[in-house]
């Protein structure tokens, strides 16, 4: 009682790292996201935290801002903090995976979501990106579009490569030609969407539809189309990816793929918790692939 009173008088704070070293458990889980200003990532974080808090865990959130170097620094900081696990979505710049291998080498559970490489051989939660591209191209073809462009992410990232493959295969399925000048890679920022849309509009033969692999870039593309007085969707139809809240608020509203962020967050947290019981040896990795849904709005609905 006297010790507690002195601790209170001195405003003593327990040394978290020392406690973690003594017990072998910090009750902390690191969460790495490319950016927090995305509704998708913030929703995933919220649902991870909700599940883990119930089990007595707190989360430490870091954002890479799509930077490989910042992602490496985040992992080093989380490992220094003695986190019990890391749940991460990869930065656009990331090609070398050594910093993620470092987590595995330390025996710390690593769960990837949305963006994660098969080469890592870790648990993964995400949607079927390949099938999502088919949903979009099928929809645009049904609306009468025949020259469909794709503003994608960088193909070294698995999810964007899958979206590109789905786009290419869906064009072939509908006997539509693949024109290399209609397939563009970018960081999928608003400014990227603007620049790539201007590039497409400068072509001798413009596309009659544009499928953008991220809603922020789709917003940039929409701005350019509105500024140049191009009729959406009759002249150029537009579809985004992510179903960010603003897609239902802009004019015209933007069709987009819904990624079920709530479910991804919950599944990622539950996958981490499956490692907690040391008496049970986890035999197989979880590869949870959810079906996506295309939300059709004004930007692509001609019929």
**Per-residue model confidence as pLDDT tens digits over 123-155:** 999 999 999 999 999 999 999 999 999 999 999
- The residue with tokens 């973690």 is 20
301 located within any domain = no
255 located within any domain = yes
Is the domain of 49 the same as that of 117? yes
| Predicted local confidence at residue 152, as pLDDT | 97
Whether residue 113 contacts residue 124, with contact meaning beta carbons closer than 8 Å, is answered with yes
302 located within any domain = no
Is the domain of 11 the same as that of 34? yes
The residue-averaged pLDDT of 14-42 equals: 80
Q: Is 101 exposed, middle or buried (0-12, 13-18, 19+ CB in 10 A)?
A: middle
Residue range of the domain that includes 50: 2-126+260-289
Is the domain of 16 the same as that of 114? yes
Is the domain of 164 the same as that of 230? yes
16 located within any domain = yes
Query: pTM score > 0.85 for this model?
Result: yes
pLDDT tens, position by position, 241-259: 999 999 999 999 999 999 9
Is the domain of 99 the same as that of 199? no
- Number of folded domains in the chain? 2
């Amino acid at each position: 009682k006297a010790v507690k009173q002195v601790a209170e008088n001195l405003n003593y704070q327990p040394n978290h790292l020392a406690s973690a070293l003594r017990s072998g458990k910090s009750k902390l889980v690191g969460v790495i996201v490319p950016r927090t200003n995305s509704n998708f990532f913030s929703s995933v974080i919220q649902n991870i935290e909700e599940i883990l808090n119930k089990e007595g865990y707190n989360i430490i959130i870091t954002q890479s801002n799509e930077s490989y170097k910042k992602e490496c620094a985040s992992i080093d900081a989380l490992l220094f903090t003695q986190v019990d696990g890391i749940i991460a979505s990869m930065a656009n710049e990331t090609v070398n995976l050594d910093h993620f291998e470092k987590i595995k080498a330390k025996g710390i559970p690593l769960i990837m979501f949305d963006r994660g490489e098969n080469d890592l051989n870790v648990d993964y939660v995400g949607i079927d990106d390949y099938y999502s591209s088919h949903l979009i191209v099928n929809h645009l073809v049904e609306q009468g579009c025949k020259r469909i462009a794709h503003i994608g992410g960088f193909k070294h990232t698995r999810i964007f490569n899958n979206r590109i493959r789905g786009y290419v295969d869906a064009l072939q399925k509908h006997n539509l030609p693949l024109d290399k000048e209609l397939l563009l890679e970018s960081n999928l920022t608003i400014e990227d969407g603007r620049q790539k849309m201007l590039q497409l509009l400068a072509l001798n033969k413009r596309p009659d539809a544009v499928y953008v692999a991220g809603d922020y870039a789709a917003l940039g593309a929409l701005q350019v189309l509105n500024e140049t007085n191009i009729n959406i969707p009759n002249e150029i139809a537009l579809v985004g990816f992510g179903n960010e809240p603003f897609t239902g608020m802009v004019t015209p509203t933007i069709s987009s793929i819904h990624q079920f962020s709530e479910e991804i967050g919950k599944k990622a947290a539950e996958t981490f918790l499956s490692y907690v019981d040391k008496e049970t040896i986890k035999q197989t990795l979880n590869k949870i692939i959810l079906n996506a849904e295309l939300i059709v709005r004004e930007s692509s609905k001609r019929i």
